[in-house]
Structure 1
Amino acid sequence: MGSGKRALTTAAIALVCTVTVLGAPGAAHASPGRPAPTPPPPGGTAPAAGGSTIAAGTDLEAVRKKLDRLYHDAAVATDAYNAAEEQTKQQSARIADLAREIVKGREKLAELKDRAGAAARAQYRGGGLPPEVRLWLSNDPQKFLDDAGTVRQGEHATEGLLAEMTRTQEDLRQYARDAADQWKRLDANRKAKAEAKKRIEKEIATAEKLRSRLRKQEQERLRKLEEQAANQAQTAWLDTGILKDLGSKASVEGRTAVRFATDQLGKPYVWGAEGPKSYDCSGLTSQAWAAAGTPIPRTSQEQWKRLRHVDIKDMRPGDLIIYFQDASHVAMYVGNGAIIHAPRPGRTVTVAGAGSMPILGVVRPDAT
């Protein structure tokens, strides 16, 4: 990262420490307390595109809350899409593994059949006379006894070959059943992914249509309402005295993850994206920790389920903060009450206040 960008980032994080009005516009689904109504412009209301009107103050606050709900629903659908995408990749890999096992099993079965056939032909060449007759006809009784022992060994080996052939055939049948099950799951996850994609696009389109109805002045007032809501939530969080108890010593891996996240500042949010040009919230955190050498689950919900939980008072840079009761948003804590996150469609990776959204809990990817 260049010195100019580093200075910019340092200044942004320092601003978090000294000013309680942190938070670039909040994430798609922030739900802090209601801010004071914005005074209406002269005339009280402004006509919106298409002939409708959006009243100032209370009605604009209702628009903000509706947008929050729409973007929250899009975030939930994005998590479902990402989960289905991960499962689809895993199932495709498993099917490929099973196909390789089936090929190897068929080759092994063909080899066993050849060996069993050779053993049967060798036995046939020994003749069909009873052993006692062959002993009487033999010029060398000791050689006959030696040959008889060899035949018995051959018979045992043949029995072993037949048992191994049976096991191999059963393995092949099981591989085929497993592959069929994986294909069914793969098909179900592809359908789930397609449905989630439809829901995401619908929610985002509805939000964009709602925004497009606002005039320029109304959009500016809405932006200020969003900032005010995030700032109020952050101030309330800081007022709890949480920073006094927070430790700040990051692990080596945590510092690497924070550096990666910092280098992504300004890149656009795109749902389902994992970089390098754009990210969604969990795409950013999962890639940051992958860069630190610690792979973590792809989605915010799986990160919440599978990573180690730590108390907020023990939080340190690099830890992940999970937001909302449904764990639909995630950000990286970078210290001094600040996070780096990819907020929602239409926004970029940014620094915000850690308390600007309702916190579900904190998880730590690294074990050290």
Structure 2
Amino acid sequence: MASHRRSSQSGLTQTVRVTVLSAAVATAAAAMAPPAVARPGDTARDDRSGGTVKSQVDRLYEQAERATEKFNEAGERAGALRRKVAEATDRVARGQERVNHMRTALGMIAAAQYRSGAVDPALQLLLSSDPDGYLERAATLDRVSDRQGEQLKALLGAQRALRQERTEAARMLGELEQTRKAVEHHKREVESKLATARRLLNALPEADRRAYARASRSGGTRTLDHAGGGVLGGLQDLTAASGRGAAAAMAARSAVGSPYAWGANGPGAFDCSGLMQWAYGRAGVGLPRTSQAQRYAGRHVPLSEARPGDLVIYRDDASHVGMYVGNGQVIHAPYPGARVRYDPANMMPISSVTRP
């Protein structure tokens, strides 16, 4: 029976291996592709104005961040599909094993009947020297035939179920391949945006590059003056709303200084949603992978009531996320080239605050 499992798994497993291999080839091809460049008109504007370059780079990073979250979402879906394909492969193997076992049992019954001789029961009764014994044996044979009929029905049902499992497994493999292509598409989009942003930054004077690196996402200062009022003027350096929030905020603080890497969720590098997922994972709480999903991973609270550990979701499309840590500040993974750091919570438009 073990041999049946191995043989039935091999077809689907080989298909999965081919899919994974094709993904590796596509990834290598994407990595070898030449980086995208800005339009000629952009270059002229870049050379004249550092402020224009900064706005362009900010826009490119924002677009890359959106593509990164789509990449994360597609990658998470691909992982779930791989698990489903593996489960379907195992179900197909078990179904094939069951069918083989049932076929073997029915074959044994058929062989036994053949050896006993398929003689007309009426003639056997006439020739029998022990009619009573024959009638008893005939009744047993009828019961065997009834049981065989039930086994045949069960075999047919098992074969139908096996076909359905194979069809579902093949469907999921096709869906996995489409998802893999989506992952590669978003990967190329991110790499293109980041390559253009790097080219623009590298064209700036060194002093301007250092100034950009020091600036927050909004170009503001690294601290927030509570006395200045405004939306965050009433926020205090409060304690966390829960033990898990406090633990997550502590984990986020420990990640300050770690490099940004798109698609990364720790422990050595992070993108924005990856940092949130890792920090709450250290607190024993599972968060979804993307900032869009993290927006709904808890209770929404007013910004004025934000506590350490709360997730601050940015932009209407929820394409960036940071963790509120008190004193009007968040910790977040800003963009490639920058490290995990503190920034003002109002560094960009806030769409919601979520308390996991």
Tell me which interval the TM-score lies in, with the shorter structure as reference length: 0.7 to 0.9
Aligned amino acid, residue 107 of structure 1:
E
Residues 284-295 of structure 1: pairs in structure 2 closer than 5 A: 284-295=275-286
Residue 296 of structure 1: how far off its partner (Å) = 1.8
Aligned with 2:337: secondary structure? coil
Tell me if structure 1 keeps the 8 A contact 2:46–2:53: no
Residue of structure 2 equivalent to 1:27: none
Aligned with 1:322: secondary structure? strand
Tell me if structure 1 keeps the 8 A contact 2:222–2:344: no
Residue 276 of structure 1: how far off its partner (Å) = 1.6
For 1:329 and 1:177, the matched residues in 2 are separated by 39
Aligned with 2:83: secondary structure? helix
Residue 283 of structure 1: how far off its partner (Å) = 1.0
Residues 306-315 or 251-260, more deviating? 306-315
Aligned residue among 239, 244, 264 for 1:253: 244
Confirm or deny that 1:163 pairs with 2:153: yes
Q: TM-score, normalised by structure 2?
A: 0.77
Aligned residue among 64, 81, 84 for 1:91: 81
Cα distance change on mapping 1:51 and 1:78 into 2, 3 Å:
closer
Q: Unpaired segments of 5 or more residues in structure 2?
A: 1-42
Say which structure, 1 or 2, has more relative contact order (CA 8 Å, 6+ apart): 1
Residue 270 of structure 1: how far off its partner (Å) = 0.8
Percent identity over paired residues: 34
Residues 196-205 or 247-256, more deviating? 247-256
Residue of structure 1 equivalent to 2:325: 334
Confirm or deny that 1:108 pairs with 2:88: no
Residue 127 of structure 1: how far off its partner (Å) = 4.0
Residue 347 of structure 1: how far off its partner (Å) = 0.8
Tell me if structure 1 keeps the 8 A contact 2:260–2:335: yes
For 1:300 and 1:246, the matched residues in 2 are separated by 25
Residue of structure 1 equivalent to 2:308: 317
For 2:318 and 2:126, the matched residues in 1 are separated by 87
For 2:269 and 2:183, the matched residues in 1 are separated by 20
Deviations 1:298-356 (CA, angstroms, capped at 9, x unpaired): 1112223x523412255432221211111111112223322111111111111222222
Cα distance change on mapping 1:303 and 1:53 into 2, 3 Å:
closer
For 2:129 and 2:234, the matched residues in 1 are separated by 101
Aligned residue among 178, 192, 210 for 1:202: 192
Aligned amino acid, residue 81 of structure 2:
Q
Residue 143 of structure 1: how far off its partner (Å) = 4.2
Confirm or deny that 1:64 pairs with 2:54: yes
For 1:198 and 1:173, the matched residues in 2 are separated by 38
Aligned residue among 200, 204, 208 for 1:218: 208
Residue of structure 2 equivalent to 1:22: none
Aligned with 1:254: secondary structure? helix
Tell me if structure 1 keeps the 8 A contact 2:46–2:52: no
Cα distance change on mapping 1:85 and 1:241 into 2, 3 Å:
closer
Cα distance change on mapping 1:53 and 1:178 into 2, 3 Å:
closer
For 2:119 and 2:211, the matched residues in 1 are separated by 106
Residues 241-250 or 197-206, more deviating? 241-250
For 1:277 and 1:90, the matched residues in 2 are separated by 24
Aligned residue pairs total 312
Cα distance change on mapping 1:128 and 1:249 into 2, 3 Å:
same
For 2:216 and 2:118, the matched residues in 1 are separated by 96
Residues 218-227 or 335-344, more deviating? 218-227
Aligned residue among 56, 68, 80 for 1:78: 68
Cα distance change on mapping 1:225 and 1:133 into 2, 3 Å:
closer
Residue 185 of structure 1: how far off its partner (Å) = 1.8
Residue of structure 1 equivalent to 2:289: 298
Tell me if structure 2 keeps the 8 A contact 1:280–1:342: yes
For 1:187 and 1:114, the matched residues in 2 are separated by 37
Residue of structure 1 equivalent to 2:353: 362
Residues 154-163 or 261-270, more deviating? 154-163
Deviations 1:29-72 (CA, angstroms, capped at 9, x unpaired): xxxxxxxxxxxxxxxxxxxxx999845xxx43332222211100
Cα distance change on mapping 1:150 and 1:199 into 2, 3 Å:
same
Cα distance change on mapping 1:143 and 1:336 into 2, 3 Å:
farther
Cα distance change on mapping 1:320 and 1:118 into 2, 3 Å:
same
Tell me if structure 2 keeps the 8 A contact 1:232–1:356: no
Residue 102 of structure 1: how far off its partner (Å) = 1.7
For 1:51 and 1:118, the matched residues in 2 are separated by 85
Residue 120 of structure 1: how far off its partner (Å) = 2.0
